[in-house]
Chain A
Amino acid sequence: MRRAAAAVIGTVAGTSLLIVTKLGVHPPDSGLAGNDTSVVVGAGGPSPAPDTTDGGDDEREDGGAAPASTGPVPAQPSSAPSRPAGAPTTTTAAPRPTTPATTAGSGLRNGSFTGTGVKERYGTITVTMTVSGGRITDASATCGGCSGESQSISTNAFSRLRQEALTAQSANIATVSGATYTSGAYKTSLQAALNAAHA
């Protein structure tokens, strides 16, 4: 099941790219988006959509973490966070109706475009894509004939993740989160400097 979904999603990503290429050449008759986000879709790459269909055994077991006979009886791990029950895929809103197109520097026209269905092993996949400011801001696909979680597949732009400038700061902080350093590398780490300042 997961493999099938991943394959479909991978296909969609690939198809998206093909359709984008085509769209650059002849503008489709469908509309243009009012959407104006500036996020760039990381098109391509299979979606690592987790398989959440086998839930039911996801509860943590109380006491499982308790070390049997030592001092700090760390009773149990903190409560398990709730996980969404449904599949992580989302359906993108239907393409909005439109106003005039402008050609952006990238050669992509602004608007929402729906490709003709592509027949795949798992069904017929139709990709809808939104271009704004010369960038693909949204892409989604529906899969006719696919079952279950494969029916609606989104390669949506990051809805919560926003791109920002990467800056280096020297801020007033108590501690540092970072990729694990070795005991040796700790000596020159920012965390070591903070700890030393505290002493």
Chain B
Amino acid sequence: MPEGQGLLRVEQIMGTAVSVHITDPLPGPVREALAEKTFEWLRLVDRRFSTYLPDSELCRLDRGELAAADGSDSLRYVLEACARLWRETGGYFDAQATGRLDPSGFVKGWSVQVASDWLAAAGALNHCVNAGGDVRVRGEHEPGRPWRIGIRHPFESQRVCAVVAGTDLAVATSGTYERGYHVVDPLTGRPARALASVTVVGADLGLADAYATAAVAMGEAGLRWLDTLDGYESLVVTADGRLFRTAGLPQAAADDELDETLG
């Protein structure tokens, strides 16, 4: 497989690494400009929603120095979305689970989704945006080959436990293996430990991100809840090493099958 296809840029934003990969056969400077605009948007999101920057809209809101009505459209949108998700998940997606306002479980996925929508509208119909493991792909990686997204194996960092493929897909994963038991069960206040990794695949990365976070918070009961989601497939690895996956998960063809198909 030829390497170096398309433009791939990586930048540190939102406390993690964000990769923007554009494979459309566009002139180099155009691809560069599209990638730069994408990063500009994500940096703006970081400035608004960072829980670390004291001057972010989010922190000012949390301290009571800013009314939501006086904030940006994005801020109000995110607050409303988090409220909807709180209801939809029976309280398990809780932007205030830790006692402080922290909508990160939605913001990262949502901002990447917005970026991907914008890229497509701007003419980059073949791209992959990955913000710290939350992935939105469109089009193809190479002509005739859809994007292949590995799901990181929760216990072996350099390997994957599944591969999904698609030309229009949001893939969000939440888990306990990177930053410890950071997802809190809002109903008990205790860290959720039962599910090591929850991946949700569907159309919208903001929702997929929030659903994955909610399922981790639910623990084992999250399995049953994920099963009820319409339009969102999932893959779960429990802390004791069991893997569950929905029948509709768009699993990639094995490498050798792919090669056969393509001759």
Contacts and interface: CB of A to CB of B under 8 A. Distances in A.
Contact of B163 (A54, A72, A171): A171
B21 A183 contact: no
Given A48-B222, A175-B150, A177-B149, A185 B178 contact: yes
A42 B221 contact: yes
B114 interface: yes
Contact of A48 (B90, B128, B177): B90
B102 interface: no
Interface stretch (A23-31, A96-104, A129-137, A153-161): A153-161
Contact of A77 (B17, B110, B228): B110
A183 B12 CA distance: 6
Interface stretch (A106-114, A115-123, A162-170): A162-170
Interface stretch (A14-22, A59-67, A140-148): A59-67
A178 B147 contact: no
Classify chain A's interface size.
35 or more
B160 A190 contact: yes
Interface string B172-186: 111111110000000
A74 B178 contact: no
Contacts of A197: 3
A52 B197 CA distance: 26
A79 B231 CA distance: 12
B76 interface: yes
A176 B152 contact: yes
A97 to B, nearest CB: 27
Interface in B216-250: 218-228, 230-232, 234, 236-237, 241-248
Contacts of A178: 133, 151-152, 173, 175, 178, 197
A170 to B, nearest CB: 6
B22 to A, nearest CB: 12
Contacts of A192: 17
Nearest to B214: A48
A180 B157 CA distance: 12
B51 interface: no
A105 interface: no
A70 B149 contact: no
A136 B148 CA distance: 36
B72 interface: yes
A175 B19 contact: yes
A195 B157 CA distance: 16
B262 interface: no
B31 interface: no
A7 interface: no
Q: Which of B158, B177, B202 has the most CB of A within 10 A?
A: B158
19 contacts: A42-B221, A47-B224, A49-B228, A83-B88, A156-B224, A162-B245, A169-B163, A170-B159, A171-B163, A172-B1, A174-B21, A176-B152, A177-B172, A178-B152, A180-B179, A181-B133, A181-B178, A186-B17, A189-B17
Q: Which 4 A-B pairs have the closest CB atoms?
A: A178-B152, A64-B77, A179-B175, A88-B228
